[in-house]
Amino acid sequence: MKSVLKLELEEAKVMLEAARIAAEEVKALESICIVDDGGYVIAMERMNGGRITGPEIAIAKAFTASGHKRSTHLFNQPGGPASTTGEAFGIHAMLPGKFAIFVGGFPIVVNGEVVGGVGVSGGNGEQDTAVGTAALKALQNYLGNEYEVMTQADIKK
C-alpha cells in the first residue's frame, strides 16, 4: 500500500487567490483552474472581463499538466515530444479539447508526487507563466517547510 497526498479545496482556494493577484499585477484577465491528480476540477475562476473561451482552455491545460506530469509548454518546444519530429506528434488529437500543448499548464508536484495541475488562460505566455508559478509558490507558502512544492515553470516528473 502507498500513502498519497490529496489536493483539497482549501489549498486550491489559496492557489486561486494568489493567481488572481498575480494576474492583476501583470494586467491579464485570466481564467485559472486547479485540478486534482485525476484531472478533475477542484476550483475554477474566470476574472471579470476574461475571455469566454478561457475556462475550457484553462481546464485542458490543468488536465494535461496533471495527467502527463509536465508543464504543457514542454510538449511543443523544439525537439519536444509533440513537435513535428517528436515521438508524440499529434498527441493532442487523441483527447480533443482536453489535451493542451501550449504554455499555461503546470503540474502541482508536492514531495515529488503529482497531486494535481494548474491551468491558466487569458494572457500571453509570459503572463500565464507568471500567474501559474505564483499559484505554485502560494501553495508552498501555505504548506510550509514540511512539504516541498516544485515552483519553477519547467516541470517534468
pLDDT tens digit at each of 157 positions of the chain: 988 999 999 999 999 999 999 999 999 999 999 999 999 999 999 999 999 999 999 999 999 999 999 999 999 888 888 788 878 888 888 888 899 999 999 999 999 999 999 999 999 999 999 999 999 999 999 999 999 999 999 999 8
Instruction: State the amino acid at position 6 in one-letter form.
Output: K
Predicted TM-score (pTM) of the model is: 0.95
Instruction: State the amino acid at position 89 in one-letter form.
Output: F
Q: How far is Cα 97 from Cα 91, in angstroms, rounded to an integer?
A: 12
Element (H, E) at 58: helix 54-68
Rg from Cα positions in the chain: 14
